[in-house]
Amino acid sequence: MDSVRYDVERRGHRVPIALKILIAGGFGAGKTTLVSALSEVQPLQTEEILTGAGIDTDDLSGVETKSTTTVAMDFGRITINEDLQLYLFGTPGQDRFWFLWDELAFGALGAVVLADTRRLADCFPSIDYFEQRGIPFVVGVNCFDGSRRFSLGAVRRALDLDPDVPMVLCDARDRQSGKAVLISLVEHVARQRGEPVPAA
């Protein structure tokens, strides 16, 4: 296998590696909160146009007049070094945006599925999505105040998770907690490749 260099230099410019990580989960599960907690920049938003009709290229101003809806996506960035960045994408919560998930998931390193223990079933579609496509994921069990504490084992059973899918308790508002979830994802990806990242 030829190794791909990522320090390609061209006239002083390199194309950095930008790894994509999806933050998924049900409505209100804490996706936006997690992206903001982890991102080094103010939570950014971008949108995608939902339309079957397409966009008129020479008439930007006409876009609004067509029957288009836009869907906002959160994203954030973590710079590891000048050649390596993580992009976190909060997935849109609703099922009718599945096609956007495909775009987000394309080439993604993996995903974090946030499970809200008050509404566990809300994350089933996310889990199904990643399982069906073989995209590595971890489950972050988001501990909302006042919600009943479930044991991780009980949540795992309820979600019917594969034994090797990591589960991590987290607080999406807390950066350290979010970091731990991302680390468990990257380690999971490495384990799946059969090349575990050595413990620090």
Partner 1 sequence: MRTDLPGHQHEWLDDDAGPVVRPYTLTGGRVRPDADGFDLVAYVLARPDPNLAAFPELHPEHRLLVELAGRGTPLVELAAGLDLAIGVVRVLLGDLLSRGLVSVHQPPRATYLPDNDILKAVVDGLRAL
Ligand X SMILES: Nc1nc2c(ncn2[C@@H]2O[C@H](COP(=O)(O)OP(=O)(O)OP(=O)(O)O)[C@@H](O)[C@H]2O)c(=O)[nH]1
- Which of 23, 32, 130, 167 is close enough to bind Mg ion by CB under 5 A? 32
Residue 126 and residue 190: Cα distance in Å, rounded?
21
- Please identify, among the stretches 114-122, 124-132, 157-165, 187-195, the one whose residues bind partner 1 according to the rule CB under 8 A: 187-195
Q: In the stretch 16-35, what mask flags binding to partner 1 with x, by CB under 8 A?
A: xxxxx---------------
Q: In what side-by-side order are the strands of the sheet with 84-90?
A: 44-50, 69-81, 84-90, 17-25, 110-116, 137-142, 167-170
Residue 137 beta carbon to partner 1: minimum distance, rounded to whole angstroms? 15
Q: Choosing among partner 1, Mg ion, ligand X, none, which partner's interface includes residue 27 (Cβ < 5 to 8 Å by kind)?
A: ligand X
Q: Report the C-alpha gap between 144 and 33 in whole angstroms.
A: 12
Task: Tell me the window of 8-16, 25-33, 78-86, 120-128 that interacts with Mg ion (CB under 5 A).
Answer: 25-33
* DSSP summary character for residue 151: P
Q: Are 101 and 73 in contact (CB under 8 A)?
A: no
Residue 172 touches ligand X, criterion: CB under 6 A:
yes
Candidates 7, 14, 18, 27: give the one binding ligand X (CB under 6 A): 27
Evaluate the CA torsion angle 121, 27, 79, 136 in order and state its sign. positive
- Is the distance from CB of 38 to CB of 179 less than 8 angstroms? yes
Which among Mg ion, ligand X, partner 1, none contacts residue 57 (Cβ within 5 to 8 A by kind)?
Answer: partner 1
For residues 144 and 128, the answer to whether their CB atoms sit within 8 Å is no
Which positions touch partner 1 (CB under 8 A)?
A: 3-6, 8-11, 13, 15-20, 44-49, 51, 53-58, 60, 63, 70, 75, 77-78, 80-81, 84, 86-87, 89, 99, 103-104, 106-107, 109, 175, 179, 182-183, 186-187, 189-190, 193, 195, 197-198, 200
